């Protein structure tokens, strides 16, 4: 497909994806917060009341009463609002984005031959298998072990660790992180479609039919909803991780990912408990954050320079020749790589001044994290990376001619 059309599809679908995702996550945050803020009913209220909450927003006052189940005579007049299209829209557009960004265009972002030597077809099949396999495994664990939630939780966390290591040994770092998030997002959408919405529908149907209401359906819906809730911060991180090569481009990218996931879940716990609750969770979260920042910390420029001590002086002409050979097929005014109608991220190396200005990012992407060239399509060598590193460490100087 034409690269510009693919770009537009990407833009529009991503726009919808983000808006739907904000609405879904916002709902999740609001309802979990409301549950935690419920107080005993302030006056007699009919039915199976769990509590009430008063809110004010934009000058209006909202009185919300939560009931575990409804009696036939309490059935609300329609409409009774339910929340599912936010999550379905997020998932559908997310799946489309996996197709547009990762499957189309010859698996450009998925395959890194230094990670795993996959063909395009193999990469696409692996991508689909990860999304389907993740939700199948999660369902199996939580269906078989529904009455042993601690065991199920332990197995799920072990599977999460396995997924982080497995994915970072299968795909290029950036695709590994996105697939980790997409796999969790698929589990979350399946929870809404297969447990939360059907559970509440069955409860309503029983109420309408005047038959006993199975409140365990509500309890299961709530459990799945809490799983989704604790996955929100980790998933949102994976979705913005593209911008941070220091995370997915790290040599220990699985550990970096798991530490950030730990921090995200602990932060959500702390938010839910208004920064109280079990202090151990706070300590684990803070330690995870300190560990990941330390692990990914860059050497100070002086230290980086030290790494190139003893290397002969590198002229700009040498550095420019490497960049022309390995980078400008994509990063130029007129990319020759057919997948790009424009220079990716607007980064162009046609002009010496631009190369000079971009030196810190070139160091980060091509020398330290080795996340550029993309999938090493242009076959840069480690020696060439080191030469670029030395040129930058020596001050990224232009020749007198420039």
Contacts with ligand HEC, residue ranges (CB under 6 A): 174, 245, 323, 326-327, 329-331, 337, 344-345, 347, 358, 361-362, 365-366, 372-374, 377-378, 380
- Nearest approach in angstroms of CB 246 to ligand HEC is 9
- Nearest approach in angstroms of CB 164 to ligand HEC is 20
- Nearest approach in angstroms of CB 161 to ligand HEC is 26
Residue with tokens 């499957």: 103
- Nearest approach in angstroms of CB 324 to ligand HEC is 9
Q: State which residue, 200 or 329, has the beta carbon closest to ligand HEC.
A: 329
- Nearest approach in angstroms of CB 138 to ligand HEC is 29
Residue with tokens 């819906």: 221
Q: State which residue, 155 or 314, has the beta carbon closest to ligand HEC.
A: 314
- Nearest approach in angstroms of CB 320 to ligand HEC is 11
Q: State which residue, 213 or 372, has the beta carbon closest to ligand HEC.
A: 372
Q: State which residue, 164 or 384, has the beta carbon closest to ligand HEC.
A: 384
* C-alpha span between 382 and 370 (Å, rounded): 9
Q: State which residue, 51 or 344, has the beta carbon closest to ligand HEC.
A: 344
In 11-30, which positions are buried (b, 16+ CB within 10 angstroms) versus exposed (e)?
eebbeebeebbebbbeebee
Query: Which residues fall within 8 angstroms of residue 59, CB to CB, at 6 or more apart?
Result: none
* C-alpha span between 231 and 145 (Å, rounded): 20
Q: State which residue, 20 or 396, has the beta carbon closest to ligand HEC.
A: 396
Calculate ∠ Cα 299-168-303, nearest 5°: 5
> At what angle are helices 173-191 and 120-144 packed, to 10 degrees?
40
* C-alpha span between 307 and 291 (Å, rounded): 24
The answer to whether 344 and 330 are in contact (CB under 8 A) is yes
Q: State which residue, 6 or 347, has the beta carbon closest to ligand HEC.
A: 347
Query: Which residues fall within 8 angstroms of residue 164, CB to CB, at 6 or more apart?
Result: 180, 254, 255, 257, 258, 261
Q: State which residue, 156 or 329, has the beta carbon closest to ligand HEC.
A: 329
Q: State which residue, 162 or 360, has the beta carbon closest to ligand HEC.
A: 360
Distances (CA, A) of 148 to 101, 240, 244: 39, 34, 38
Dump the DSSP string for 300-340: PHHHHHHHTTTPPP--HHHHHHHHHHHTTTTSSSS--STT-
- Nearest approach in angstroms of CB 293 to ligand HEC is 18
Q: State which residue, 106 or 133, has the beta carbon closest to ligand HEC.
A: 106
* C-alpha span between 10 and 179 (Å, rounded): 17
- Nearest approach in angstroms of CB 363 to ligand HEC is 9
- Nearest approach in angstroms of CB 204 to ligand HEC is 47
* C-alpha span between 337 and 380 (Å, rounded): 16
Does 197 sit behind a cis peptide bond, omega within 30 degrees of 0 on the bond before it?
no
- Nearest approach in angstroms of CB 232 to ligand HEC is 24
Side-chain half-sphere exposure of 400, counting CA atoms within 13 A? 0
The answer to whether 268 and 229 are in contact (CB under 8 A) is yes
- Nearest approach in angstroms of CB 355 to ligand HEC is 9
The answer to whether 3 and 341 are in contact (CB under 8 A) is yes
Side-chain half-sphere exposure of 251, counting CA atoms within 13 A? 5
Q: State which residue, 245 or 393, has the beta carbon closest to ligand HEC.
A: 245
């Amino acid at each position: 497909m034409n690269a510009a059309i693919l770009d537009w599809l990407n833009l529009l679908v991503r726009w919808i994806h983000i808006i739907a995702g904000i609405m879904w996550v916002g709902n999740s945050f609001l309802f979990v917060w409301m549950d935690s803020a419920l107080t005993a009913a302030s006056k007699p209220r009919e039915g199976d009341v769990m509590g009430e909450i008063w809110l004010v927003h934009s000058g209006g006052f909202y009185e919300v009463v939560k009931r575990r189940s409804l009696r036939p005579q309490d059935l609300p007049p329609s409409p009774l609002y339910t929340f599912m299209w936010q999550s379905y829209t997020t998932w559908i557009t997310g799946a489309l984005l996996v197709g547009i960004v990762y499957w189309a265009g010859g698996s450009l972002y998925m395959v890194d031959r230094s990670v795993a030597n996959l063909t395009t077809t193999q990469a696409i099949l692996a991508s689909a298998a990860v999304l389907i396999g993740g939700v199948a495994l999660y369902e199996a664990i939580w269906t078989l072990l529904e009455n042993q939630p601690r065991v199920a939780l332990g197995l799920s966390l072990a599977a999460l660790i396995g997924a982080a290591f497995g994915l970072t040994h299968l795909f290029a770092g950036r695709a590994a992180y996105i697939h980790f998030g997409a796999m969790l997002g698929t589990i979350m959408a399946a929870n809404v479609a297969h447990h939360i919405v059907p559970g509440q529908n069955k409860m309503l149907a029983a109420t309408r039919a005047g038959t006993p209401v199975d409140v365990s359906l509500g309890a299961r819906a709530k459990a799945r909803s809490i799983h989704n809730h604790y996955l929100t911060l980790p998933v949102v991180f994976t979705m913005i991780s593209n911008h941070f090569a220091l995370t997915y481009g790290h040599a220990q990218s699985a550990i970096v990912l798991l530490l950030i996931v730990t921090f995200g879940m602990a932060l959500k716990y702390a938010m839910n408990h208004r920064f109280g609750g079990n202090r151990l969770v706070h300590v684990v979260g803070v330690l995870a954050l300190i560990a990941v920042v330390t692990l990914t910390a860059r050497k100070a420029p002086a230290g980086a320079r030290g790494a190139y001590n003893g290397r002969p002086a590198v002229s700009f002409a040498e550095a420019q020749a490497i960049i022309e050979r390995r980078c400008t097929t994509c990063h130029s005014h007129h990319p020759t790589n057919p997948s790009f109608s424009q220079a990716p991220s607007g980064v162009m190396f046609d002009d010496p001044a631009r190369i000079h200005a971009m030196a810190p990012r070139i160091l980060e992407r091509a020398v330290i994290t080795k996340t550029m060239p993309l999938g090493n399509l242009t076959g840069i060598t480690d020696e060439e990376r080191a030469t670029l590193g030395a040129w930058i460490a020596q001050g990224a100087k232009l020749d007198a001619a420039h």
